[in-house]
Structure 1
Amino acid sequence: MTKTWNGSAGVCINDKGEVLLVRGYNSTKWAIPSGGIEEDETPEACCVREMMEETGYPVKILKKLKIKTTVVKGYDVCIHYFLVAVNGSPKPLN
């Protein structure tokens, strides 16, 4: 049986052309905010949730950019990428 992982990621670009990135705990690498799709969650809802959890910014989906499929450490990986825009004031992160 093949193991699978499905996720979503948000690409947020401000009016200066800067891309919103996050850095994981104990990591030196920067990445776009992303995470796994939960049971009964759409890729769009996952993207909005992950953006809030990882950046504190509420966002709205502007458009779907692409779906990337690959294999990572024995998992079939499918990531949905969305262009998003900030939609409100940021919330403090814990």
Structure 2
Amino acid sequence: MALMITDECINCDVCEPECPNQAISMGEEYYQIDPGKCTECVGHFDEPQCVMLCPVACIPTNPSHVESRETLMQKYLRLTQATA
């Protein structure tokens, strides 16, 4: 599954620079995650970096974007090939 940031976000700026896929950006009121770029850090790290660093625990999985680990790995490979 891709991750999402809830309205509990305090805009602390910790997550955005840590995202290896540059999937996190500032939305109208708080940060948001682009599900097309989010791999939950599959291919980069063992755990999602944004979740590990978030001081208010406002980054759950996005139920609208259910993906298996295999699908996330395929997305990672597609994204990394596009930047190569």
TM-score (norm 2): 0.31
Q: Which has the higher helix share?
A: 2
Q: Which has the higher strand share?
A: 1
Higher relative contact order (CA 8 A, sep 6+): 2
